[in-house]
Structure 1
Amino acid sequence: MNISTAQTTIDAVTLEVSDPAAAAAFYDNAFGLGDRLRVRATDAPTTGFRGFILSLVVSQPSTVDSLVGSAIAGGATTLKPAKKSFWGYGGVVQAPDGAIWKIATSAKKDTGPATREIDDFVLLLGVDNVKATKQFYVEHGLTVAKSFGSKYVEFDAPSSSVKLALYGRKAAAKDAGVDPAGTGSHRLVIGGALGAGADLDGFAWES
């Protein structure tokens, strides 16, 4: 990987899909993430869990329901229905192209009318060795914002960009409500200033 330390943010996430026009229409209507989410065509084979979750963090439960509702109306399937938990409120859906999305808030009660506003867009990678992958990204210029040993790592990023976080693969799959087994392409490309290459789990980056 060609390292650029001037800026180590993720500008955009590209999902590789079989039908880019349909995927673009789905995401525009469901989440409205603009240039931070892109799609492009691929026929690369993939089965099972692709090793990542795309997470949208919002301010209150009604906004979770609004975004989940839009996704379901557009053809997504429910993996975990939106509900309260000890950490807040959230649910998980799988988009028609197969990507897994978690929409959640740390709030348990609404403080105003539902909005479509997304506070944070997080790419959560399910990796084989959290500590090793954390070190890989630190060596490539990322700054750790939160770290819970070998369980979870979140890197610092401005609110306008996509945040990067790491989970163990099995933990990520459990969080998504799917089996951790999976083979083939991740069908994901991370766009940012780290340059072209791949991390320890084969997740691809491009400038």
Structure 2
Amino acid sequence: MTTIKSVVLEVPDPAAAEAFYAAFGVGDHVGVRASEAPTTGFRGYTLSLVVSRPNIVDAFVGAALDGGATTLKPAKKGFWGYGGVVQAPDGAIWKIATSSKKNDGPATRQIDDIVLLLGVEDVKATKQFYVDRGLEVGKSYGRKYVEFATAPSNVKLALYGRRALAKDAGVSPDGNGSHRIVIGSDAGPFVDPDGFAWETVPGSA
């Protein structure tokens, strides 16, 4: 089964980004490397932290804001649970959410899942593109949303319509230039229909 082995964010200042992500609590899950590739507006993806309680959401959001992130959507209750959206100093958008509305434990920094959501123009076509490269579909809701199966502890990959994803993140869907993200796996290298780059992780092929 093809799964994501690494997620690398391309940033203008790797040292500053590494310090931010270490303080945020996700430094073990994402890498950074230097890039000055031009990019404007929405980069077409979000990274989501799925956690178990609202107080954990607040802990991650607080750490991100303390590190210089900005609020795109304040953490609050919704019909689906509790969550908020922040933008890191390097421009990456992070959503932190839980399906629970109650705190039945301490405000740890435990992450249940990390999901990379790609905003794509044609969910059905991009799903088939990834299936042809060895990814297995875990959940699929027609042309609206697809989540691929993944091994435990790996970053999950999901597809969502670009405009819907931008709305969920609280930003305009407009944007162009580099996505500023590179996905590593045993299926690369390739570039998907929406311009997201994949590379082969050394030793995984």
Count how many residue pairs are aligned between Structure 1 and Structure 2: 200
Q: CA deviation at 1:32?
A: 3.0
Could you tell me which of 50, 55, 58 is aligned with 1:65?
Answer: 58
Q: Does 1:128 align with 2:121?
A: yes
- Aligned twin of 2:110: 117
Taking the aligned partners of 1:167 and 1:31, their CA distance within structure 2 comes to 26
Q: CA deviation at 1:31?
A: 2.0
The alignment's TM-score, normalised by the length of structure 1, stands at 0.95
Name the SS for the 1:8 alignment partner: coil
Q: Which runs of 4+ in 1 moved over 3 A?
A: none
Q: CA deviation at 1:185?
A: 0.3
Q: Which runs of 5+ in 1 are unaligned?
A: 1-6
Could you tell me which of 6, 11, 22 is aligned with 2:16?
Answer: 22
Percent of aligned pairs with the same residue? Answer: 69
Contact 2:50 2:97 in 1 (8 A): yes
- Aligned twin of 2:85: 92
Alpha-carbon displacement from aligned partner over 1:71-107 (angstroms, at most 9, x marks no partner): 0000000000000001110000000000000000111
Could you tell me which of 174, 187, 193 is aligned with 2:167?
Answer: 174
Contact 2:18 2:27 in 1 (8 A): no
The alignment's TM-score, normalised by the length of structure 2, stands at 0.96
**CA RMSD in angstroms, aligned pairs only:** 0.8
Name the SS for the 1:32 alignment partner: coil
Name the SS for the 2:131 alignment partner: helix
Q: CA deviation at 1:147?
A: 0.9
Q: CA deviation at 1:119?
A: 0.5
- Aligned twin of 1:204: 197
Q: CA deviation at 1:196?
A: 0.5
Taking the aligned partners of 2:76 and 2:27, their CA distance within structure 1 comes to 23
Could you tell me which of 87, 100, 105 is aligned with 1:107?
Answer: 100
Q: Does 1:159 align with 2:180?
A: no
